[in-house]
A and B are shown apart, each in its own frame.
Chain A
Amino acid sequence: MSTGNELARVAAAETGTGKPEDAVAPETLALIDTYLRDHPGGTERLIPVLHRVQEELGYLPFPVIKAIAERLGISPIQAYGVVSFYHFFTTTPRGRYQLKVCMGTACFVRNANSVLESVHETIGLEVGGVTKDRLFSLEQVRCLGACGLAPAMMVNNEVYGYLTRAGVRKLLQGLRAKARTPHPGGEGGNG
């Protein structure tokens, strides 16, 4: 493709019938369109719709960001500027179970590091990583607001407190066993 070419821009940006790898799954487009239809307004809907889509897919693939931008009448790089600004949004796939280990002051002094170590020992994950089967991903966060339970970790939307190395191991093994049942899509790698 010739670079900086007006037509490429016209064709790709104005029609959305771009390259095949830009294809977004119809159900994802439907999700975006439904959300935008139910929430009339302007570009202020960018963050909420990103939330909604990430909730569903587990992350924000670039073609999805582009599709959202086109629907809001902004350029893809503007939408990505927002995505890249907020720690919460991610463009890389996350695990089905997103582990968020609290590294806030209270957890830190109660040895949050041991929680990270235990996660690493059990499923081999480093901070920022995803297991090969995309079952788990690991992040550290500043404060979960659960200082009384320190050291604490969130798994998706649930908080687990008073964690020990053994407790972490047991929790993760339990989740892995539970995952043997087929899961309802979501992180399915649509583009």
Chain B
Amino acid sequence: METILITVNGQPVEVPVGFTLLEALRHHGIELPTLCHDERLTPYGGCRMCVVARRDGRPGLVPACSTPVLPGMKIDTEAPEVHEARRRQLQLILLNHRMECPVCERTGDCRLQDLVFEYGGDEGQLPFALVRRPRDEASPLIVRDPEKCILCAKCVRLCDEVQGVAAIGVVGRGLEARVATWLDGPLECEFCGQCVDACPVAALAIPQFASELPAWQRTAVTTTCSYCSCGCELTVAGDGTRPAGVSAAPASRPNHGKLCAKGRFGWDVLRHRDRLTQPLVRQGGRLAEASWDEALAAVASGFAAARERGEVIAAVGSTRLTTEDAYLLQRFVRETLGSPHVSAGIDPGVEALVAGMGEALGVPRSTATIADLATADAVLVLRADPGRTHPLVKTELVTAARRGAKVLLAHPFAGTLSTLAAQHLPLAPAGEEALLSSLLAELLRRRGGAGDAVERLDGYAAWRAGLDGYRTGLAAALTGVAPDEVGRLADRLEAAASLVVTVATGRGIPGRVVGVARRAVELLAVLGLLGRPGSGVLVLGERANTQGVVLAGLDPRLGVGGGSAPAPGWTAAETVRRAAAGEVGTLYVLGQDLLGAWPAGIGACRAVEHARFVVVQDPFLTDTGRAADVVLPVRCLVERDGSLIGADGVRRPLRPALTPPVPLPGDGEVVREIAVRLGAPLPDSAEVEAELARACESPERVRVLRLTPPSPLEAPPSAGGVCLDLGPQLFHSGSTTLRSAALLGLSAPETVLLAPEDARRLGIERGDTVRASAGGREVLLRAEVNDRIRPGTAMALWGGDGSGAGRLVTDPARPLAAEIGRRS
């Protein structure tokens, strides 16, 4: 880093070129007061608290936040005139600030209060009448108190620069200036709550976190968000009984202080009425509360009996389990119960990692990280609008697009990325693999081959032959993307020095995720970017620990660390199928609602019915739990201890930040206890940790590449000319969030988006109730007409699991062939 010399308070200081004075000083640990500065934002120079005096012949005070360092600069940060300027500035700020520190909810946690305490400014108030403005309680979850606002505009700038939403702005001028929404309506935004975190005073607040306890008596625990796989670091403030604030520090990684609505507001689920506090054991046909001792004894004797009878025992876990619990579960099932049939549930994210990345590269991991989005030249976004599925990824794309990176979106609906995308390919649902195949065919044609490294590989000829089917633009008819659009996409990819391909996964996203992951790896290989730092494929799991449970060996095909399994067993789908056929005697289901999540039926009903003994372990009483023989309640989300591995492969600590309604064990503790009762205790935590530390080590670099021929061309199904695609909603991702009253308050009714021409043809207008039916089931949805959705596709925005249009899903790999019509 090139540096220059400046003088600060008489001392020579070496600082990097291109820094602002404030950055340079903070780089050296010299603190300056600020109210409007945020390292994530463009310098604003609004509050004038960071003024310093120049001592190099130039007169006056300069704001350090927006003054670049220059060679030979001499400044004084603590001169009397500097302090006086800060005091006067505070005096001016306080002029129009409703000052009521003793009763203010932010007292003790207020930047303005701190600065007034340090510099003064509250003495001898200037004669001036406060501009009165009422408290604004019209929005859900967030209240605004404009009389407290000091117009630092951090909320406004974060909403625009970081979040890419710009739901609020500064309007008016002088004393009339205020932060406002469009037409002064309620907030219509993503409810990420970044504005509240950024507010230095009490102008923005979250009433659900209001606490009687003063700031300095609250506790704070930093943990990892356990909703999606972004792995955001979050801090929960507590007053002993409930959360008194959920925030993220600007220094948090990978989220840089960002959270989404789920991570900030979704914790009321922990006190949901479905929450189990006591084990349940079936007695005389009914589930009745039992003591832990009775319940564990029932489970142990049930498992022991099954083992003695030689029945098949199978366990279906979840990608929500912590890495440690997943490790214990697979060891318990494989060693204690002696069954190879252990899986993490029916989760497309696991498939993408195990069968996609694992098959192609030999390691079931993503090869790119969320941090790579900050430097990538181009990002190809596949299978979903990350603005809905992985909010942190969307904010990274906002930043990437603004620095000039090309965001390339292939999706039926541009959604939240519509203003960012350099290119939007209106893809038919589940057309991603066909698009990648035709893209590969195009690149091969242009380059006359795939390059030596790829051509030397086994199976090249078959792979090449498979791609030939995509040559002529035949794919265009099926993907809905014109050949010249594919050509333009190829141009952009060839021009990119680094490329990240994001592959979102989730039950609501139809398509062959395995094929998409493999083709994405091959695309990078053909572009010569495979294994290059800053380029790679980023598989985004729907659940928090998709990557972690895979590395912990919770998969019938894998051992710990991602090697092959000691003895291959059945995947979750296979387990359910076999159980439905009566081949499974005992079923152990953890953190997974096979019945509730698949109401259209994958045979789970029959599976649970046919199994002689069913044990369900879950924080909530689910449909599967209601049908079980024993139900064991456990801790949930951030009540747990352990670790999660995010989509980026980084293992992050999960610390108990909130407490369950009654003391409850974690999943692993329950598994351990059952193992003890079966006479085969599981290894202690130190041994588990040693093995996991080895398993989670990141491989140095990609060494192998295996080519697999692309799937044959296949037309998406459609009924009545419209193909129903499920688009995950921003505020929901399944059974957990659907129990949050806070998030339910934000979410839309079950809605289906239709292109104007489709709506006209079907005689549907905005706001109509429409009927979507498939396989003899039907759901009612509210119609929205949207001209950014691809004609021929209807997108049902869906809350996850068995809600809304999810009730129609029977095969997650395929878009739904649903019939849509007006409710007559």
A-contact 0/1 string along B721-763, CB 8 Å cutoff: 0000000011100000000000000111101010000000000
Q: Taking the complex as formed, is A28 at the interface, i.e. its CB lies under 8 A from any CB of chain B? A: no
Bound state CA distance, A75 and B167, in angstroms?
Answer: 7
Minimum CB–CB distance from A86 to chain B (whole Å) comes to 8
Q: Say yes or no: B169 contacts A11, CB within 8 Å.
A: no
What is the distance, in angstroms, from B461's C-beta to the closest C-beta of chain A?
Answer: 46
Judge if A120 is at the interface, Cβ distance under 8 Å.
Answer: no
A115 → chain B, closest Cβ, in Å?
Answer: 26
Among residues 143 to 169 in chain B, which have CB atoms less than 8 Å away from a CB atom of chain A? 160, 165-169
- Which of B102-110, B183-191, B229-237 contacts its partner? B183-191
Q: Is A11 a contact partner of B167 (Cβ separation < 8 A)?
A: no
Quick check: B169 and A75 within 8 Å, CB to CB? yes
- A67-91 to B contact mask, C-beta < 8 Å, 1/0: 0000001111110110011000000
Partner of A5, one of B165, B746, B786: B746
Closest to B164 in A: A75
Q: Which of A1-33 contact B (CB under 8 A)?
A: 2-15, 17
Supposing A2-B748, A4-B139, A10-B415 touch, asked if A77 and B797 sit within 8 A by C-beta, the answer is: no
> Across the interface, do A8 and B787 meet the contact criterion of CB distance under 8 Å?
no
Whether the pair A3, B140 counts as a contact (CB closer than 8 A) is: yes
Q: How far is the CA of A75 from the CA of B170 in the complex (A)?
A: 12
Query: How far is it, in angstroms, between the C-alpha of A66 and the C-alpha of B183 when the chains are bound?
Result: 10
Interface assignment of A62: CB less than 8 Å from any CB of chain B: yes
Q: Are A7 and B139 in contact (CB under 8 A)?
A: no
User: Do the beta carbons of B746 and A10 come within 8 Å of each other?
Assistant: no
- Determine if A81 and B730 form an interchain contact, defined as CB atoms under 8 angstroms apart: no
**Given contacts A77-B171, A77-B181, is CB(A3)–CB(B166) below 8 Å?**
no
The reply to whether A14 and B786 form a contact with Cβ atoms under 8 Å apart is yes
Q: Which of A8, A17, A76, A85 is in CB contact (< 8 Å) with B748?
A: A8
What's the Cα separation between A5 and B182 when bound, in Å? 14
> Is chain A's interface secondary structure helix, strand, loop, or mixed overall?
helix
One digit per residue, 1 when the CB lies within 8 angstroms of any chain A CB and 0 when it does not, for chain B 750-785 equals 010100000000000010000000000000000011
> For residue A62, which residues in chain B have a CB less than 8 angstroms away from its CB?
183
In the bound assembly, the distance between CA atoms of A6 and B784 in angstroms comes to 12
Given contacts A77-B166, A81-B169, contact A3 B415 (CB under 8 A): no
Q: Is the CB of A78 within 8 A of B166?
A: yes
Q: Measured between alpha carbons, how far is A13 from B166 in the docked complex, in Å?
A: 12
B788 interface hit (Cβ, 8 Å): yes
Q: How far is the CA of A80 from the CA of B178 in the complex (A)?
A: 12
CA distance A78 to B167 in the complex (A): 9
A73 to B183, CA, bound (A): 18
How many whole Å from A101's CB to the nearest CB in chain B?
Answer: 21
The listed residue (B139, B165, B766) touching A75 by CB distance below 8 A is: B165
Complex contact B186–A9 (CB within 8 A): no
Neighbouring B residues of A76 by C-beta, 8 Å: 182
Chain A residues, Cβ within 8 Å of B139: 3-4
When distances are taken between beta carbons in the complex, the residues of chain A under 8 Å from B419 are: 73
Chain B residues in 8 Å Cβ range of A15: 785-788
Using Cβ atoms and an 8 Å threshold, which residues of chain B touch A17?
Answer: 766, 785-787
Q: Which residues on the A side are within 8 Å of B166 (C-beta)?
A: 74-75, 77-78
Q: Is B173 an interface residue (CB 8 A)?
A: yes
Residues of B within 8 A of A74 (CB): 166
Max chain A CB contacts within 10 Å: which of B784, B787, B788?
B784
Contact A4 B191 (CB under 8 A): yes
Q: Are B786 and A6 in contact (CB under 8 A)?
A: no
Q: Which residues of A contact B188 (CB under 8 A)?
A: 3-5, 8-9, 12-13
Q: How many angstroms from the CA of A24 to the CA of B690 in the assembled complex?
A: 66
B567 interfacial by beta-carbon distance below 8 Å: no
Q: Are A85 and B173 CB-contacts (below 8 A) given A5-B746, A11-B786?
A: yes
Contact status A4-B186, CB under 8 Å: yes
Please give the distance in Å from A43's CB to the nearest CB on chain B: 12
Q: Give the distance in Å from the alpha carbon of A11 to the alpha carbon of B751 in the complex.
A: 11
| B301 close to A (CB within 8 Å) | no
Using CB atoms, name the residue of chain B closest to A81. Answer: B169
Q: Which residues of B lie under 8 Å from residue A13 when comparing CB positions?
A: 188
Q: Verify B748–A84 contact, CB threshold 8 A.
A: no
The answer to whether the Cβ of B699 comes within 8 Å of any Cβ in the partner chain is no
With a cutoff of 8 Å between Cβ atoms, the chain B residues found around residue A73 in the complex are 419
Which residues of A have CB within 8 Å of B749? 2, 7
Contacts of A11 in B (CB 8 A): 766, 784-786
Neighbour of A77 across the interface among B167, B415, B787, CB < 8 A:
B167
**Given A11-B784, A77-B168, A6-B746 contact (CB < 8 Å):** yes
The 0/1 profile, CB within 8 Å of A marked 1, for residues 181-206 of chain B is 11101111111000000000000000
Decide yes or no whether B719 CB sits under 8 A from chain A: no
Interface string of A116-157 (1 = CB under 8 A from B): 000000000000000000000000000000000000000000
> Which residues on the B side are within 8 Å of A81 (C-beta)?
169-171
CB distance from B160 to the nearest CB of A (A): 7
Interface contact A9-B189, CB-CB below 8 Å: yes
Contacts of A14 in B (CB 8 A): 414-415, 418, 786, 788
Residues of B within 8 A of A (CB): 138-141, 160, 165-173, 180-183, 185-191, 414-415, 418-419, 729-731, 746-749, 751, 753, 766, 784-788, 797
The 5 closest A-B pairs by CB, nearest first: A75-B166, A77-B169, A7-B748, A3-B186, A81-B169
Q: Given known contacts A4-B189, A14-B415, what 14 new A-B pairs fall within 8 Å (CB)?
A: A3-B187, A4-B746, A5-B748, A6-B797, A7-B749, A12-B188, A14-B418, A15-B785, A15-B786, A73-B419, A78-B160, A80-B182, A81-B170, A85-B173
21 contacts between A and B (CB under 8 A): A2-B748, A3-B138, A3-B140, A5-B188, A6-B729, A6-B746, A7-B748, A7-B784, A10-B786, A13-B188, A14-B415, A17-B766, A17-B787, A73-B419, A76-B182, A77-B166, A77-B167, A77-B171, A80-B180, A84-B172, A85-B171
